Amino acid sequence: MDKKFGVYICKGCGIGDSVDIEKLAKSAKSGTVKEENIKIHDILCSPDGLQLIKNDIKKDGINTVVIAACSPRVKYEEFDFSGCMTERVNIREFVAWMQLPNTDDTQSLAEDYLSMGVVRAQKGELPEPAILENLSSTILVIGGGITGMTSALEAAKAGYKVVLVEKEPQLGGFANKLYKKIPTRDYKEPLIVDTEIEKVIQEVESNPNITVYKSSKIEKTVGQPGLYDVTINTSSGPVTEKIGAIVMATGWIPYDATKLDYLGYGKFKNVVTNIEFEDIARKGTITRPSDGKEATKVAFIQCAGSRDPNHLPYCSSMCCATSLKQARYVRQNSEALAMILYKDMRTPGRLEAFYMEAQNDPGIMLTKADVKGVSDAGNGNLSVEMENTLLGEKVKVEADLVVLATGMVPTTRAPQEYLDGLTLAATKGDDAKKAYLESTPKPEFILNLDYRQGPEIPSLEGAVGFADSNFICFQYETRRTGVYAAGPVRQPMNMTESQEDAAGAAFKAIQCIDHVAKGMAVHPRAWDLTFPDPQLIRCTACKRCTEECPFGAIEEDAKGIPTFMLNRCRRCGTCMGACPERIVSFKDYSVDLIGSIIKSIDVPEEEFRVVCLVCENDAYPALDTAGLNRKTIDPSVRFIPMRCLGGVNLVWIADAFSKGIDGFLLIGCKFGENYQCHFVKGSELASVRFEKIGETLNRLQLESDRVNMMQVAISEYDKLPEMINAFVARVKEIGHNPFKEM
C-alpha cells in the first residue's frame, strides 16, 4: 500500500505543559511526513479530535496514522481506524508523566519517541489475516465425568456441535462413585446432597448437539485448531472426527494408598480410602469391611499423602470438605462419633460455614494432629497415634474404622512421567532408550498428538503432572494452542468447582474456534491478525525456531525446513528471535523493523542513550503505572515494546552499540516454576540467548555491565524505575560508548 502519513499530537493530560508541542511537530516533518499532515489537538481522544483524524482519512486519503498521545494500552477503541495503519506513540506516560517538564532532555525524549513511531509505521504493513479453509467448529471433549459433561453441555447450549469421548462404558466419572456431594448452598439442610449425576448424564445423552462415544479413546490427534483430524478408537472400530478445539477433562485418580503403609492401608482391612468409604456409606449403615459390624467411631486422617514431599507435594483441595461431608454420613447414626484429624482444615470461601456447622456438632471431633501411625488395637479396631494435637502432645485414639483422605493425582501425570523418563533415557543413547521402552509399561496417553514436540501436553518441572497452564492469567490454556484443560486435570478441585471450570474451558474452546475462523491469534494477542511469514528460501534448516516455539506450532519437512502451523501459533515472535538467518517476520514486527527503530534514535555525542526492550505484557504496563504514579526514570532511556522477550534478536544489541548507544537493557517477565511469561518460556529463552551477548561485547571491546536483563512482575511498577535508574547510573559510571566518536 502507498502510505500517506498523518501525524497527530495531543496536548491533553499534561502533555502540552511538559513538551514544546510546536517544536515536536516540526521535528516530525520529513520526506515521509508532510508538514500539512502534522496536526496538534488539545484533546485528541475527544469527539472533535477523533473527527479531525477521520476527516483526514476520508478527504485527504491518510492511511497511516501516527498518534503521539497516551499509552497504546488505553483508548484503543477510540484510536482504531479500520483500514488504516495506526501507530501509537506514548508521550503521556513515558514523557509528560515521567519527566521534568520543559527540559531539553524531555523534549528530545518526545522527539525521539515520535520519530521511532514514524519509523515503525514506515516499516510495518497492514496485516491481512491468514484464514485457512475447511475449518471445523466442532468441540471435542475428552472425559465424560462431571467436568467433561458440563463443558459439553455449555458448548452445546452455545450452539456448537460437541464430540464427547469417555473411556468407560458409562458417563459420570468419579461422581458415579460418590454417595452424596459436598453441599454448596445451605450447609444446615439438607444434611447431604445428591450428586444428581444421572440427570446430567441424561441431559448429555439426549442433547442433539452432542455425540457421545463411550468405551472409547483418542488414538491420534493430527492438525491444528480448526483443522484437527481426531481418530477415536471406539468399541465398533476407529472413527475420525473433524475438530475445531479440544477440552481435556480427563480428571484424576486417587493417590495410591498402598504407598501409605504407615497408615495401615493394605495391612488392616478397616483402613479404607475416602473413595472406598463412599461405597460403604451408599449401602446405608456404616459398616466395617473386616466383619460387617457397624462402625460407630470413625477416624478420618487428613492429608493422607497430600502436602507431603514424599508423596503429593500439593494440597489436594477437596479432601477436607470431603471428610466433613463423610462425617455427616457417620452422624446419620446420632450415637456415632466422627474424628477428623487434620494438619490444617482448608475450607476456602463459603465452605468455611460448612466447617463451622461440623464444629457445632458434638458428635464430630476435630483436632489438629500429626498422625504418626495406625496400629492394631484388637477386635478389628485400630489405634491412631498422633502428636502435637489440641488434646495433648502425644495422643492415641481408638477407632473401629479409619478413613484416609487421599488426594488427587491428575490423569496427565503418568504420561508425563513416562515421557520425561523416555527423554532422559534418550539423552543417554539409543541403547538406553531401547531398554527404557522395553522395561517401562506405557501408560494411557490422552491426546496422542501427532506433533513433532511430543504426544501430550508438556508440564513444567514441579507441576507434578497437572496440565501445564498459565495459572495466574490464563487458567485453561495449555502449551498446545486449541487444547484447554478443565477440572482436576488442571488443579485439584471439587465437583462444584469442576463445573465452573468446565464452563470456562468450553468458552475458551469457542473463542479459539471463533478466532481461527477470523485468522486472528488466540490469547493473549487476541486481536492480532499478523502471523510469522518466513522467507524459507534462505532457511538453513537449523531447527532453532522449531525447537524454541513454546507452543509446538512448527513442524518440519523431511529436509528439516519448518512448516508453520498458523492456527497453533500465538504470535509471540520467539521464532523471530531464534532464527540466526533473521528470516522470520510479521507484517508489523520484524528484525529489520525493531533494528530500524533503534537506528532512528538520535545519539548526540555528549549525551547518554540507553535502549530498553520491554515486554508488552508485564513490563510495559508496569512502566505505564510508574508514569501514572509520576515516578521518574532517567530521560536517556528509550523504551521499545516487544511482544515477548523471546523475540529478542542479539543483532539489535550489536547494532545499537555500533551506533553509539551506551547501554542496553531487556525487561521481561519473571521466569521459573511460578512463571508468569504470557508465552511460557519467552523471557527464559531470552536469558539463555542473552548469555551469549558476552561474545558480542568482547568483539566490540565493550564492558559487560553495559547490558543487563531484568525480570519484573506487573505489580512491581514502584521498584522498576529504581532498577532502571540504577542500571543507567552504572552505564554513566562506565562512561560513553567509544563508538559514539567514530
Smallest gap from residue 532 Cβ to ligand SF4 (A): 5
Cell numbers placing 522: 488466540
What is the residue type of 515?
H
- Give the residue with the Cβ less far from ligand SF4, 616 or 703: 616
CB 306 within 8 A of CB 289: no
Smallest gap from residue 581 Cβ to ligand SF4 (A): 4
Rounded to whole angstroms, the Cα distance separating 114 from 121 reads 11
Smallest gap from residue 641 Cβ to ligand SF4 (A): 16
- Report CA torsion sign: 471, 476, 477, 478: positive
Rounded to whole angstroms, the Cα distance separating 505 from 154 reads 10
- Give the residue with the Cβ less far from ligand SF4, 321 or 545: 545
Three-state DSSP state, 223: coil
- Give the residue with the Cβ less far from ligand SF4, 78 or 616: 616
Give the count of beta carbons closer than 10 Å to the beta carbon of residue 598: 20
Rounded to whole angstroms, the Cα distance separating 575 from 553 reads 10
- Give the residue with the Cβ less far from ligand SF4, 336 or 591: 591
The neighbouring-strand residues paired with 563 are: 555
Rounded to whole angstroms, the Cα distance separating 475 from 501 reads 9
- Give the residue with the Cβ less far from ligand SF4, 21 or 575: 575
Smallest gap from residue 719 Cβ to ligand SF4 (A): 29
Residues 6+ apart with CB under 8 A from 324: 182, 340, 347, 354, 355, 358
CB 101 within 8 A of CB 632: no
- Give the residue with the Cβ less far from ligand SF4, 94 or 679: 679
CB 607 within 8 A of CB 662: no
The neighbouring-strand residues paired with 709 are: 666
Smallest gap from residue 584 Cβ to ligand SF4 (A): 6
Alpha helix locations (H) across 10-101?
15-18, 21-28, 47-59
CB 264 within 8 A of CB 371: no
- Give the residue with the Cβ less far from ligand SF4, 544 or 587: 544
Smallest gap from residue 710 Cβ to ligand SF4 (A): 22
Residues of the shown chain interacting with ligand SF4 in the complex, contacts defined by CB under 6 A = 532, 534, 539-545, 549, 551, 553-554, 562, 564, 569-575, 578-579, 581, 583-584
Smallest gap from residue 158 Cβ to ligand SF4 (A): 27
Smallest gap from residue 560 Cβ to ligand SF4 (A): 7
- Give the residue with the Cβ less far from ligand SF4, 497 or 588: 588
Find, among 598, 620, 593, the residue nearest to 678 by Cα.
620
CB 484 within 8 A of CB 503: no
Phi/psi at 165 (nearest 5 deg)? Answer: -115, 125
Alpha helix locations (H) across 163-258?
197-205
- Give the residue with the Cβ less far from ligand SF4, 418 or 551: 551
Residue with cell 542500571: 727
- Give the residue with the Cβ less far from ligand SF4, 161 or 570: 570
Smallest gap from residue 547 Cβ to ligand SF4 (A): 9
Smallest gap from residue 576 Cβ to ligand SF4 (A): 7
